[in-house]
């Protein structure tokens, strides 16, 4: 299993981005969470097999929300991320 931290910015808050990210994660079987950051960006921790995670990342970069738009993304692999049972939306 590969573990990543991802920060995306652009039009990613107030457009249903977190909830559509959860829908994508649940459909693909990705574990982790998504939350808004104070600077207007969105933070994601995701855990999945390499191929599944690559597919997830591509879908997030393309914006899972029809009214959202990702203009920047930063992805860092991090083996210290805690295992999770689900993919959650945090507040």
Give yes or no for a contact between 40 and 10, defined as CB atoms under 8 angstroms apart. Answer: no
Distance CA 90, CA 15 (A): 16
Options 36, 55, 69, 84, the catalytic residue: 36
Q: Active site includes 18?
A: yes
Distance CA 61, CA 68 (A): 10
Q: Active site includes 58?
A: no
Annotated catalytic residues are: 18, 36
């Amino acid at each position: 299993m590969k573990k990543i931290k991802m920060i995306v910015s652009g039009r990613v808050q107030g457009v249903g981005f977190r909830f559509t990210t959860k829908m994508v994660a649940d459909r693909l079987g990705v574990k982790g969470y998504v939350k808004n950051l104070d600077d207007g960006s969105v933070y994601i921790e995701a855990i999945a097999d390499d191929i599944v995670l690559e597919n997830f990342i591509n879908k997030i970069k393309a914006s899972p929300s029809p009214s959202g738009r990702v203009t920047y993304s930063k992805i860092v692999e991090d083996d210290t991320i805690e295992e999770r049972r689900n993919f959650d939306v945090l507040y």
